[in-house]
Amino acid sequence: MLLYELIVFLIFSVVYAPFSVQLNQLIFLFLILFFLYQDKSRTYRCIWRFAVFCVASLILWNWISYNRASDDWETATLWAMSDPKTAEQYFRNAEPILHANRNFAKSHLDNLFALDSAVALKFIASDKNLNQYQANLLLGKIYGQRKDYTRSIYHLKLAHNIIPNRFIPLYDLMTIFKERKDSAGQKYYDSLILNTPVKIPSNAVNYIKQKALEKN
């Protein structure tokens, strides 16, 4: 039992202890290795049990984290109807776990766009886990609303380069060049929209392609 107690103590000391107690950690590690060296069969059993414990703990932790993030997403969706700023706090809690989920990314993007532009920019700047496509698309829309077309075009092009087969950045770029009465830029993005293959058909994609056709 002493060996297991030493292992548990070492794990907790590594996780919670400050750097000032590293010498104590090394001492306990030496004691553990000494006990293991005395009985090799016991060593193999200990390593096997420890590996099973680590794998089971990781699976359990991932399951708990995913469920918590899903609950935060659900709460954020409810708050988004009345208070996008409060909803954003829950979205940020779930972002590290669910950032790769396309539906989550879309609902988070919609909520950020519903915020005041200055508040949205602040959240984007401070959220390191925010999907980069999502962040650049939102920045492009915000700067477009502010008529800062240079920054808007820059971020929309970044979003397009990250995921080239998405049509929303292309549509926003086409719209900006139309507003600027830049016929060459508008025709370029009309052509790009029409020539981009459709991976997932949808009403939104059909609408965007129809708009590009109308301008030719």
Burial class (CB in 10 A: 0-12, 13-18, 19+), 5: exposed
DSSP string over 10-61: HHHHHHHS-GGGHHHHHHHHHHHHHHHHH-HHHHHHHHHHHHHHHHHHHHHH
Higher pLDDT, 9 or 94: 94
Residue 150 confidence (pLDDT): 92
The CATH number for 131-216, chosen from 3.20.20.150, 1.25.40.10, 3.40.50.10150, 3.20.20.70, is 1.25.40.10
Q: Are 208 and 193 in contact (CB under 8 A)?
A: yes
CA 91 to chain centre: 10
Q: Which residue has the higher pLDDT, 74 or 117?
A: 74
Domain boundaries, the chain: 75-130, 131-216
Residue 71's pLDDT is 93
Question: Per-residue confidence at 25, pLDDT binned at 50, 70, 90?
Answer: low
Amino acid at 141: K
Q: Which tens digit of pLDDT belongs to each residue from 142-175?
A: 888 888 999 999 999 999 999 888 888 999 999 9
State the pLDDT confidence band at 52, using cuts at 50, 70 and 90. confident
Residue 12 pLDDT greater than 60, yes or no:
no
